[in-house]
Structure 1
Amino acid sequence: MVSKQDFLDAAFGDSQAVANYAESPQLAFPGFADMQRMTTLLLAERVANDGRVLVVGAGGGLELKVFADAQPSWTFDGVDPSAAMLQLAEQTLGPLVSRVSLHEGKVDVTPDGPFDAATCILTMHFADLEERKRMLSSIRERLKPNAPFVVVHLSFPQSDGARSVWLSRYAAYVTSSGVDPAKAAGAREAIDSHLTILDPEQDESLLREAGFSDVSLFYAGFAFRGWVSYAWQNER
């Protein structure tokens, strides 16, 4: 069986996979562009014109470009463990990269902030439960009080056979997007083996435990869920 690290290396280190990365979310994620636009609007509710935004899992640069295009006065810090994906982010951003500082590693390598907002899109499901808790706490520590945090990832019921049903629905959606059925089945198996997917209720509970309040579901697209929440006013 392929190890989790080999799986991650193939997904985010292989040159062909990196080159094709921009296409992948469009094939697997219902309403990907709309979700990015909604995220931008949710951030803009509380982020001023001179806002500074932390983007966790910034490799590829897709959401960074959307945010930077929509808000020409915002600046960004983006972090990702993959050097190859950060190089792709630079290419995706083009001249917009002048407003972005990119960091290789995990959240703890980023500046302390405080940031006006943060996002973590299609990243959290790669972290196991304990790492996810650390990530959420590290993000919270870097945010100003009341700062918005948007998180989107795979999240669906895990009990009574529901996990298998939702994984099959994921594969069916990818196949309906034009992906070869055998590759879709392989993706389903890899996700089942290597990603940490939680019940939506557990995802919301982890946000609250990490110091976020007013947790609200704003996006649900087949196997994916997205929440907006806000850093508690009191320092923890």
Structure 2
Amino acid sequence: MTENPFIAMFRDPARTAAYIDGPRRFTPGLEALHRMTAILLAERAGPQAHVLVLGAGGGLELAALAQAQPGWRFTGVDPAGPMLDLARQTMGADAARAELIEGTIEAAPAGPFDAATCLLTLHFLEREERTETLRRMRARMKPGAPLVVAHASFPQDEPARTRWLTRYAAFATSMGVDPAMAEQARAAVAATLPAIDPAGDEACLRDAGFGGIEQFYAAFTWRGWVACA
């Protein structure tokens, strides 16, 4: 089976070294997204919660959640070992509160976890695999535990699809990304990212068994939802 090209990209040490500032430049309101994620999880998860973080590489959300909730501990899973190394660096002293596992959702412990997140990750998966990944996350969560997901999710009909991808590149350029690099990213997303529209993403959550689904975040090509296991 051919590995997803985006996942393979994150195994490249050179790309990993340059990663840490990338999400902020391509994702509007990233720091606010992390703050909102912590708030939404804390609505149902207690001060000593054990949180599953799928797509934990880089450690940006791990660091933000750890700072927001000093009593939480984490299990982070990511298929790219170099990205997990970066996560340890990003978390600093808080890395002692996290178990980081190389692999996909199948590598995650059975739990049950008090909460879970999957940020900037599910858009790499085709719809069927996306739903199955969510189903396996839910199986590792306590009944009623909160899940927060956020990823690329935008209209897939034309000309709307092209319009939103143009805005995606324009935002990156406005954040200081070289225009040629922003265009290269736009073209790569357009050609290979298996994004689906927001209604389809909500359907994936329902099909995986989650309830109480609410959209809380919308920023150009990005959407975020909170749901309950």
The TM-score, its normalising length taken from structure 1, stands at 0.93
Specify whether residues 100 and 179 from structure 1 end up closer, same or farther in structure 2 by C-alpha distance, changes over 3 A only: same
- Counterpart residue identity of residue 38, structure 1: M
What residue in structure 2 maps to residue 8 of structure 1?
Answer: 7
What residue in structure 2 maps to residue 137 of structure 1?
Answer: 135
- Counterpart residue identity of residue 109, structure 2: P
Root-mean-square deviation (CA), in Å? 1.3
- How many angstroms does 1:7 deviate by? 4.5
The answer to whether the aligner puts 1:87 opposite 2:75 as a matched pair is: no
Q: How many Å separate the matches in 2 of 1:159 and 1:76?
A: 38
- How many angstroms does 1:15 deviate by? 2.0
- Counterpart residue identity of residue 57, structure 1: G
Q: Is the 8 A contact 2:52 2:117 kept in 1?
A: yes
- How many angstroms does 1:103 deviate by? 0.6
SS in 2 for 1:214: strand
SS in 1 for 2:136: helix
- Counterpart residue identity of residue 100, structure 1: A
Q: How many Å separate the matches in 1 of 2:104 and 2:13?
A: 21
What residue in structure 2 maps to residue 234 of structure 1?
Answer: none
Counterparts of 1:102-121 in structure 2, within 5 Å, are 102-121=100-119
In structure 1, the gaps of 5 or more residues are 232-236
- How many angstroms does 1:4 deviate by? 6.8
Q: How many Å separate the matches in 2 of 1:113 and 1:148?
A: 14
- How many angstroms does 1:162 deviate by? 1.2
- How many angstroms does 1:159 deviate by? 1.4
Identity %: 51
- How many angstroms does 1:66 deviate by? 0.7
SS in 2 for 1:150: strand
Q: 1:211 aligns with which of 197, 209, 212?
A: 209
What residue in structure 1 maps to residue 158 of structure 2?
Answer: 160
- How many angstroms does 1:5 deviate by? 4.1
Structure 1's consecutive aligned runs of 4 or more residues displaced over 6 angstroms after TM superposition are none
Number of aligned residue pairs: 228
The TM-score, its normalising length taken from structure 2, stands at 0.96
Q: Is the 8 A contact 1:219 1:226 kept in 2?
A: yes
